Every structure is written in C-alpha cells, then in structure tokens.
Structure 1
Amino acid sequence: MEQRQILGKSHWYHETQSSLCPADVLPLVPEAAHADRFLLDLNLSPQQLADEQAWITAARSASETLLPENVPVTRMHTLSSYDRLSTALTVAQVYGVQRLCNHYAARLAPQPGPDSSRESNRRLTQITQYARQLASQPTLIDNASRTQLDEVGLSVNDIITFNQLIGFIGFQARAVAVWQALQGLPVRWLPGFDTLQDAPADIFTAEGACWAADLPPVELRYARSEQLAACNISQPLRPLQGMEWLLAHDAPALCALGQLTRLLWQPASAHTDEQTLVMLLSARINGSPSCFAEATKLWRGDSGLPDAVRNGERALQAWSHNHPRARAIIQAVQLLTRSPDRFSAAHVQPLLEQGFSASEALRLLVSSGLFGWLNRLKTGLGGRP
C-alpha cells in the first residue's frame, strides 16, 4: 500500500486515522502557535512576574523539554513532534481550557501526519485513547493499557515521556485556569464536556497503600551521567521518591519535574496543612491510593479529615462545616481538579476572603496541578505490588 504524508490536522477534534484533507486548512486561531510556551501570552504584572518567576521559568523549561520544535525519532525514542502535539491537544480537549486548545491546535496544524497504513492508524488510535483516559479517568489505566502501548511500538523510554507529557498538560491547564481567574477573565467552557468523576472510594480502603513500578527502572550500573544527575536532583524530593529511577529513562523530563517540585513543594520542615489538604483532595479525585496514603502521613491537623476525604463528598462537607478556611480550599481545589475550564474569579474569592494573598492562593492552587501530574505518573506507570 502506498504511504502518504498529510498536512492539516488543524482543528480541535482531530481524527485518529489519517485521511485526505485540503492542504490550505488553517487552525482556528493560527496566532496561538506563537504564544509563550507556558503562560500562553497571559498578561502578568511586573510584580507577579517577579514573585513567580522561578517556577514559571521551570514550567516553561518543562514545556520546551517535552514539546520541542523538532524531535529526532530513533529506535528507542519513537514519539514524533506530531505524536507529542496530538497528545497535548487530546489532553487539552479533555480539560477544555480554550487558550490551551487553541495553542496546541495551532502548533499541530502544520505537522505532517503519519502515513495511512493500518499500523500507523492503530498506533495513533491507541495513544489517543490512552491519553484521553489518563487525563479524564485515570483509574481506567492498568497493566493492560501499558501492554497495548508496547504492542503498538512504544518503548519504555516512550512510555515514560508519554506519561510525563500527559501530566504536564494537566498541570498547565490548571495553572492557566488559575491565572485567568485571578485576572478576572471570563470563563468560556464548552457545554457537553463531562467533569472528571471522583475515583471509587473502595480503592482507598487499604491503609498505607504501597506503589510499585510496572516498568523496569534504569539500573545504576548502566545509568548515563545525565540520568545520575537527574536522580540526584529528585531523590531528596519526597513526592518523587520511589519513582526517580523509573522516570530517569527520560532524564531531561525528570529534571524539569524535579525543579518544579522543588519550587512548588514545601519541605517537610515547613510543610503546611493547607498543601497537605490539596494533596489529599487531588489523590482522592484522581484515584492514587499511594499518594493519598503519603498525604495522610503528612497531615497534622484534625484527625478526622483523611477519613472524611476518603468517604466522599457528603462526609467532607460535614467535616468542613466547622473549618471555613479549609472549606474555601476544598471548594476551589475540587472544581479546579474536576473542571478547570469552569474555574473563574468567583472560585478564588472565598480564598481571598479567608486571608490568603493572591500569591498564596495562586501557589496553593497551582500545586494541585502538580499533584495531579504526580497522581497520573503513579497510575500510568505502576500500581499496587
């Protein structure tokens, strides 16, 4: 069968199979391709830029690492620019943040699509399905899902990069949603998009849930210098402990994640219960028992909170009735985690009324995106031993 390259994947809802289309089709917002790679041309005040410069720079570096302009394809690294950008657009579609969808649709438009062979179509269908499930319903991902990625030709290195990319786009979607809310920009969510459903409560019944990788980690004796350096950065960071040697298959991505974690994660000596609450909520909604167990160990407040989060919405509402500051966090984080496209200034206001500064509210809410990234890495790359 003759293979053909096709241009013009230029709309939000791109096909998962190659088909002929006009070469002159333009993306919905072509100028969005040239936006800042992380903030997507949101206008920040000089004071905001100064206060948040460190982690914004790290996030921009993560974007450039996972979504570079050109990606050399090799036998062990088969994810092309098209694969990465189509994955980014798929995940952006799940979260519905319009600014994000416009950006990745515009960047994807000029990329040559894969050939129309059955193998290529099956590969694209599989990675699109996996990306959509990990973004929208993480608990659907299991060992069979990872096996299917292997069957369509993704190497271990590819699978690590692929999961990092999905996690990063989720983080970016929530960061952009929070910035838009703080600036009072209107929410433009699309009707018909389902919100993320909370994970089933029964997966959180085991006390002290453990996590084990389902893929082989990098062996110390074979580790390259860049992998050793990435692990040295990551090992002191509690949220990455146990994953660092597996994530080292993509050392630059691990370095980027490590930098963001270092800047947004508060060290154990100064760890606040507010951020632990965010960790608990994120793990509960996204379905990561090991992250939930870790957050439970860190919690130093009312002993009834972890059980309330574990038992679901009604129990959590009852607990928060006498904790107005925590209730403001819970309401904001739940909506941001489930439906970032609907997050607006009205959802930040209760935090400000409870005494959070705009910068404190921003950091707290953006950390929920980071925890969602970590939750998905745990789900996508392993499970209970």
Structure 2
Amino acid sequence: MEHRRYPGHNHWFYESQTSPRNSQAAPLVPEAAHIDDRFLLGLQQETSALQSLLLDNQPALLAARDLSQLLFPDSSAPTLTHTLTLYDRLSTALTVAQVTGVQRLCNHYSARLNPLPGPDSSRESNNRLTQITQYARQLAMQPEVINAASITALDAVGLTEPDIVTLNQLIGFVCYQARVVAGIHALQGLPVRWLPGITPPPDADSRGFGQPPSWLPTLKPLELRYASAEQLAAITFCQPITELTDAVWVLAHDPAALYGWAMLNQRLEPNPSTRLAQAASARILGSRWAFQHSFPDDALIASVDEAELSEEQQQIVTLAAQLTRTPERFSAAQLQPLLSREWDQSALFDLIQAVALSNWNSRLYFALGEAR
C-alpha cells in the first residue's frame, strides 16, 4: 500500500508511522530550532567552566560551524544536478541523530524539520525518501553493510552523483557532531541523555585489515574537462592531504563540502595518541583506508578490546571504542582513567575531536570507495 503524507505529520517518527492531524504537530523543543551556533547547539552558553578550552579550539570549532551552515542552510533551492531539498537534508540529519541517541541533536533537527513542507504523496517521492532514510540509518549505525548496491539503490530513486556525495557528507557530519557534543557533556560531568531502543551493532569484520588497502570509487569521479572553477579550487586545496589523492575527484562533486571538510581535517592536528584513537574507531567501523592512514597497529586488527597495548594506550582505545559505538552513553567515567594519568582537559578534548572526525572520515571513505 502506498504511504501518504498528511498535514501535521509528526516528524519525530518515520513516514510509515505518521497519522493524520488537524493541526501541525509541535516539535518536542521548539526553541532548539533557533540557535546561533548550529554545531555546538547552545553548549557554549552552558559550559562556563570550559570557555577557555572552547576558545583555544576556535579554529576547528569555527570550521565545524561553517560546515553546519553549509550543509543545513536556512533555505535550499534544488537544481537538476543537486536535487536534495532542505527537507531531505534535515530528515537525514534527524535519522542520524536518532541513531546516535544524542538528545540535543534530536531536539535541534526535529525542531528545524517540523515546519517544513514534506514531499508530495506520490509513490516515487515516498520511495525516494524511504531509500534516503534507510541508507542514512545503515551508514550511521553499521557502515559495514553499505556496498555498491546501496549506492545503486540511491541512483535508482533519482539521486545524482553530487547528491550521493552530499548525502554521505551530511551523514558523516552529524556522526561527528554527535560525538563532539557527547564529549563536551562528559567533560562537564553531565549525561548526554539516552534514547532507548538502539542496540550497538558488532564491530566490523577483520578480513582485509593488515593487507595493503586500496580505494576504488563506487561513483564516477569528476572529469577534469567538466570541473568548475570552484571544484578545481577545492581539489587544489586538498593536494597536501595525501590520503585524499584517490578520493578527491569523487568528493569534488560537492566542492563546498569538500573544502570545508578538508579545512576541518587540517585544523585538527594529529599526534600519536589521537592517531591511535582514530585507528581504533576506523577498525570498529570497518574502514581499512582510514585505519591505514591513522595508526596501522596490527594489535588492533583481531580485537580492539583485547589488543596487546600498554595500559595507557588501552585506555585511549577504550575511550575511542565507547565514543564510537555508543556516544549516547559516553560519560565522565570514560575520561577518568586518563585524568588519573594527569591528562588535562585540552588533551582529552583533542582525543574526543579526533575520534569524532574518524567517525566521519571512516564512513565517508567506506561508503564512496574502498575495495571490498
């Protein structure tokens, strides 16, 4: 039976769960839609004890804020090559936020989505939104299940190559945002607030790890002869990032997102501890490419939880694993082992941001390429 949309549907649930209403349903927290910083979502006003820490991290946080404005603008006019509507973008963001279980994100994206008109009630529109939602949920929850057929399914419902690249950037960004927000809550000693019903999937299979990785695009890369000035500028900016050599011509289908993402990667300077944490995250999610370019320690391949590492390294890996698998349950308890080693808040926040970024990068590399 064809599902139809009605005025006043409740955006908190998926389309198949909506019911007719006489008036538009209000979001759970209406004020969450009206906020200046759409990356930290009001946390900077609530974290007086962390103001100096956030100020020290302004370059990266401003890059992330710019990306939030770029990926989720106040308005969006679809074109023939970029067909994602603002409703598509915010609906995807809400789906990912619900998977992560971070309440602050759910409140924000639900409130922003609520007043927007949904797609028409045609079978084609319903199939398109259903496929986008399913893909977003799978990539956010268990990237290992994404394959070339998943990309083909998006193409079959009318998404263009630029659309698919943008969709993956949207999903990756919200996964990143959720873990930074969860980390700041933990630094404050506050709970993130759980959303029930999400069971963490198992870690990705270890097959293929330890072998020389390859990155083969699942989308047709941008051709030089068709590249716009904006696309060429973004590609040029990314040249110093060696791990992007193979992927940049695919990601250039959305040059603005590519530029912002590359800028964020450059501003979060790695160190041995953050690289180890990123490798643990990449191993859990199944991205051999991100793993190889983080900290390719063979000890992590068989099991992240039982790797033969020093005690401090294992504590770093444990923190990364918790934040990757269940960000909604991340708390000050996961920070305590490193605090007892006299790690300061700045070093901990660097670690949190590195894990969050690895969650974005691993999903992006895995979804749009990698040999399987």
The alpha carbon displacement at 1:307 in A equals: 2.4
Check if 1:235 corresponds to 2:239.
yes
1:209-263 residue CA offsets vs partner (Å, 9 max, x unmatched): 2111111112222211111111122121234332111111111101110110000
Distance 1:190 1:5 in 2: 26
Q: Does the aligned pair in 2 maintain the 1:17–1:116 contact within 8 Å?
A: no
CA-atom RMSD in angstroms: 1.9
Aligned counterpart, 1:24: 24
User: Is the counterpart of residue 373 in structure 1 residue 360 in structure 2?
Assistant: yes
AA in 1 matched with 2:257? A
Aligned: 1:327 with 2:331: no
CA–CA separation in structure 2 for the residues paired with 1:332 and 1:69? 35
TM-score where L is the length of structure 2:
0.93
d(CA) in 2 for partners of 1:234, 1:16:
42
Segments ≥4 residues shifted beyond 4 Å: 3-7, 16-19
Paired residues for 1:1-385 under 5 Å: 6-16=6-16, 20-35=20-35, 36-42=37-43, 43-45=46-48, 46-204=51-209, 207-266=211-270, 272-296=271-295, 306-313=297-304, 315-316=306-307, 319-320=308-309, 323-384=310-371
CA shift at 1:282, angstroms? Answer: 1.2
Cα distance, 1:199–1:23 mapped onto 2, change above 3 Å: same
The C-alpha deviation readout for 1:278-327, integer Å capped at 9, x for no partner, is: 12101110111122223345xxxxxxxx22210014531xx13xx22212
Moved more, 64-73 or 241-250: 241-250
Measured against aligned partners, the alpha-carbon deviations of 1:84-115 in whole angstroms (never above 9, x if no partner) come to 00000000000000111111111110010111
Between stretches 286-295 and 131-140, larger displacement belongs to: 286-295
Number of equivalenced pairs:
365
Q: 2: distance between equivalents of 1:328 and 1:22?
A: 53
Following the alignment from structure 2 to structure 1, what is the Cα–Cα distance between the partners of residues 7 and 242? 44
Q: Which shows bigger deviation, 363-372 or 14-23? A: 14-23
What is the TM-score normalised by the length of structure 1? 0.90
Shift of 1:16: 4.9
> Unpaired segments of 5 or more residues in structure 1?
267-271, 298-305
Structure 1 residues 89 and 357: alpha-carbon distance in aligned structure 2, compared to 1, 3 A threshold: same
1:355–1:196 CA distance, 2 compared to 1 (3 A): farther
How many Å apart are 1:40 and its aligned residue? 0.7
Alpha carbons of structure 1 residues 333 and 250: separation in structure 2 relative to 1, 3 Å: same
Paired AA for residue 94 in structure 2 = L
Quick one: distance in 2 between partners of 1:348 and 1:7?
46
Give SS of 2:67's match.
helix
Gaps of 5+ in 2: none
